[in-house]
Each structure stands twice: as structure tokens, then as C-alpha cells.
Structure 1
Amino acid sequence: MAGQSGMFVYGIVPADVEPTEDALGVGDPPGEVTVVVHDELAALVSEVDLERPVGLPADLTAYQELLDGTAAVAPVVPVRFGTVVTGTDAVHDLLDAHRDQFRAALDEFEGRAQYMVRGRFHEPELIGALLAGNPDAAQLAEQVRGQPEAVSREQRIRLGEMISQAVELRREAETRELLDVLGPVAVSSTVRPPGHELDALHVAFLVDVDRADEFGAVVEEFACQRRELMGMKLLGPVAPYDFVDAHQLAG
């Protein structure tokens, strides 16, 4: 006997948007992606077995590929990954309950895409700059050099704290400068928390598609100026995942 099914909701689009015939959703085998239309809005959905756990890496990949592909041709409001409702009626209820927020978000995302700018410090260069500019840290580094860890534990802890603080301060400074430089060529931005102790930058930008080349050129210039201190990556275009919360959408 087949398990009970529900609707996995990927995102909200204008009512005239339809998925391509080869669009695949989550599940094994992948579910067929369809739309539920409600007045001027529509939801990208696929049927899922409620007894099957949702959230596997392959599911996240399918979710992102569908939304990113949609965002390349039409505005889309991503719905939080893993959102499953009981059926078509529940999808209509979702669209009706948040009609104004969805419409406002679609208007904002029209002709725009998200880009991610990430940077990670080169550890030797960062620590070298810290020691060159901080005599106390340089003295501690000299004290622990060649010493057994057990003997120099206190000094190592203090040095680690200095390095951690220096990384945080430098990260904040670099992030402020990045926002200042890219602000004129982006619509909006949001800073993500670091995912690694050496992360220098992790910022999402909403960018007008017709300014994407200009935005990329500014990022490249910024990266070139800092290539000795950090490595940088520009990721995108993708769906505007980081800008949905501004509209307080359900998901």
C-alpha cells in the first residue's frame, strides 16, 4: 500500500510561469514539478510520500536547481526548504493567506538575482601581518616557538585569543569596505555569519540582472586588490534565498 502523500512547496511565481517538462523535484524517484495557480500567483510543487524523510542532500540539490533555474527566467520567491503541506487545498490557503507579501516580493525580485561574495584569509599572511603590527602578539609567538605545548599552554591560549580577535576585527573592516564598494551596483545586501574561523567575507547581494557584469567587474577589482591577503569567490546568479525574510513570508 502506498504511503500518504503531500505537497512539497518550492517557491512562489507569477501565475503565467510553468515548469519545463524536464523539471524534477525531490524524492526517489524525483517527483514531477507542477504548479498550483491561485489568482495571479502560483506555487511550484511536487507530490511527496509523507512517510519518506525530506531533507536528504539530494533533496536540497533538487530544490536549489529548480529555484535557480526558475530565477533565471522569472521572478521566484523561495519557500523555506522542507515545507510540505497536506495537499492542493493547503497550497491555495498558503497563497491566499500571504497574497500581499508574495506579490510585493515578486515585484522586488523581478529582473534581479542573488550573488554571494565569499572570501577566506590566507592564514600565514594574516598572522604575519598581526605579528608585525602587534608587539605583544609577536613576543608571545616568540615565547611559544619550539616549546612543548604543555609548557607554553597559557601563552598559546593568549596568542590564540589575540589572533581570533584580530581576525574578527579584520573581517568586520573588510566586510564594511565590501559593502561600501558594492553598494552602488547592488539593490540590497545581507551579511551572513562566518562559517569558518578564517572566513573574511560572506555577503549576499541582490543585483539587477542588467548590472550583473558591472557588479562582477567591481568584485574582481576588489579581489585583485586583496589577493595577497585572501582568496575570494563570486557565486551566482541564484534565487534570492537571503532576501525572502524581509517580507516576513511563511515557510
Structure 2
Amino acid sequence: MTEIGTYVYAIARDADSPDPSGLEGVAGAPVRTVEQAGLVAYVSAVPLDQFGEEPLRRSLENLDWVADTARAHHHVVETVSEAVATAPVRLVTVYTGEEQVGALLERRHDAIAEVLSRVAGRSEWGVKAYAEQVLSPPPSSGDDQGTENPGTAYLKRRQANLRDRNDAWRHAVGEAERVNAALAAVAVASRRHRPQDPELSGREEWMVLNGAYLVDDDRADEFATTLDALRGQGLDLELTGPWAPYSFTDIDLNEASDEL
């Protein structure tokens, strides 16, 4: 018989937490709740032959498996967050049983409650800024004709192209700083994530800003208006959200020794 673990998606306050009936999580498992100390954890049962420590290492090498798991995880988190202030739990957090989850809620109650208070009535918005790359033109043998040594002429052209590229990069980064400062002034909190490379972003341009902003729900329109006023000034700005506050719920669940 396959051993079963308990997968944790998100934590909310007991009061007003939505009923998970009909909600499916990873591997199509029904989502249920574990209640303790005035908190509710949204969980589901998962087979440890896939989600145990050793099998999980192999599973994480399967990009399709990771994508399916992440999609199901985020669906549960977003569903809960639409109804109540929610602290998302990191992807693939699995415990040996519901008793361990309840003990976690008891032990980490104060830290979790503080996070839930901070994100209540607020949502996360994402903003990415892109700038056109300055590409060096291919070397032209025709430009090397004349009195100047061809090798010297080539090096001068190359240096000029690099200066143009560096100047363009510095300008784009400066514009991104200005955008981030304007948006952060509207937000309650902001974070800069590492820019994605083109394989992840799906775009060839430089990504010069990958920001997350925690915004009061009653200022969401103001945030969007501020962003719109920054458009058309050299950067292509992409707005996503609202999301559950993934970037602003740093709860250290690793203190629980029963995590797999």
C-alpha cells in the first residue's frame, strides 16, 4: 500500500475561510482543511512514492510534472485568496500527516498571524519592464579600406558598438529605477526579483525590471493609472495581477522537523 503524505497549499484565518468542497489540488486530490489555533491550512493527500523526499528529487527533473503541480498548487492558492487574506505556502511542501500540520499552526501561530494581518485587504501586482537590445552590426570588410590598418579599424568599430550597447543598457536600467520608485510609492511594499532570461520570458528584449508590489485593494486603480503614466518613455511595461501575495509571505515553515 502506498504511503500518504499531506501537501500544504496555503494558510488563512479560521474566521471566514472558504469551504474547499469541490476544490481539487495536485494529482486531482480533493482539498480539505486542517484547523488549529484559529488558523486554517488548506491541504490534500498525496502519494509519497511521488512526493516523498527521494521520489520528489526525480519528479522535479520532469518539467511537465513540475508545470502540472505548480498549476494545481496556484489554482488552490488563488481560489482561497479570492475569499480571504491568504499566506501561500511554497510549492511542494509536504508533511507526514495532518497532525504535523496542526502542530505547525500551533507552533508558528504568531508569525503566520502577523503575515496574514500584513496582507489583509491587499494584493500582489507584478510589473515587468523590457528595453530593446542594441545589437552590434556585423563587421563590414568595406569599412576597413583606406589608410587605416584593417585590424585597427575593426577594433575601433567594436569598441564603439560596445559603448553604444553599454550606454543603452545603463539608460534602460535608469528608466527602470524610475518606474520602480514611482510604483513603490503607491504600494505598501515592493520587491525586485531577478530578471528572467529570454527562454523564460519568451521575449528577446532586455528585462530590466521584474518587480512585485503589494497594493491596497482600494488603490489598485491608482496603481494602474500610475503605471500607464509611465508608458511610452523607452520601456515596454507589462502588468500582471492581482495575485495572492506570494512575494510578501515569508513564513519559515522549515522550523517544522516533520516536513518531508
Q: TM-score, normalised by structure 2?
A: 0.77
Q: Residue 105 of structure 1 aligns to a residue in which SS?
A: helix
Structure 1: unaligned runs, 5 residues or longer: 129-140
Distance apart, 1:178 and its partner CA:
1.5
Distance apart, 1:159 and its partner CA:
6.5
Q: Which residue of 2 aligns with 1:133?
A: none
**Structure 1: distance between partners of 2:116 and 2:26:** 24
Distance apart, 1:147 and its partner CA:
4.8
Q: Which residue of 2 aligns with 1:15?
A: 14
**Structure 2: distance between partners of 1:156 and 1:23:** 61
Task: Note closer, same or farther for the CA distance 1:167–1:75 as it changes in structure 2 (3 Å cut).
Answer: farther
1:95-152 per-residue CA deviation (whole Å, 9 max, x = no partner) reads 12211110000000100010000121123xxx28xxxxxxxxxxxx57x53259xx89
Distance apart, 1:5 and its partner CA:
0.5
The size of the alignment, in residue pairs, is 225
Residues 60-139 of structure 1 correspond to what in structure 2 (within 5 A)?
Answer: 60-123=70-133, 127=134
Structure 2: unaligned runs, 5 residues or longer: 51-55, 61-65, 143-150, 199-205, 255-260
Q: Which residue of 2 aligns with 1:39?
A: 37
Cα contact 2:37–2:105 (8 A) shared by 1: no
Cα contact 1:13–1:42 (8 A) shared by 2: yes
Please list every run of at least 4 consecutive aligned residues from structure 1 whose deviation after the TM superposition is greater than 3 angstroms: 151-168
Distance apart, 1:156 and its partner CA:
8.4
1:60-108 per-residue CA deviation (whole Å, 9 max, x = no partner) reads 0111121122222211111111110000111012112211110000000
Task: Note closer, same or farther for the CA distance 1:170–1:89 as it changes in structure 2 (3 Å cut).
Answer: farther
1:250 to 243, 250, 253: 253
Q: Residue 80 of structure 2 aligns to a residue in which SS?
A: helix
Task: Note closer, same or farther for the CA distance 1:175–1:230 as it changes in structure 2 (3 Å cut).
Answer: closer
Distance apart, 1:162 and its partner CA:
4.4
Q: Residue 26 of structure 2 aligns to a residue in which SS?
A: coil
Task: Note closer, same or farther for the CA distance 1:219–1:7 as it changes in structure 2 (3 Å cut).
Answer: same
1:183 aligns with 2:184: yes
Identity within the alignment, %: 26
Distance apart, 1:4 and its partner CA:
0.5
Q: Which residue of 2 aligns with 1:238?
A: 243
**Structure 1: distance between partners of 2:8 and 2:178:** 38
Cα contact 2:193–2:212 (8 A) shared by 1: yes
**Structure 2: distance between partners of 1:163 and 1:63:** 44
**Structure 2: distance between partners of 1:186 and 1:122:** 27
For 1:64, give the aligned amino acid.
H
Q: Residue 91 of structure 2 aligns to a residue in which SS?
A: coil
Distance apart, 1:20 and its partner CA:
3.7
Cα contact 1:68–1:237 (8 A) shared by 2: no
1:192-242 per-residue CA deviation (whole Å, 9 max, x = no partner) reads 11113710221000001111111111112212x32xx33221000111111
Q: Which residue of 2 aligns with 1:222?
A: 230
1:194 aligns with 2:198: no
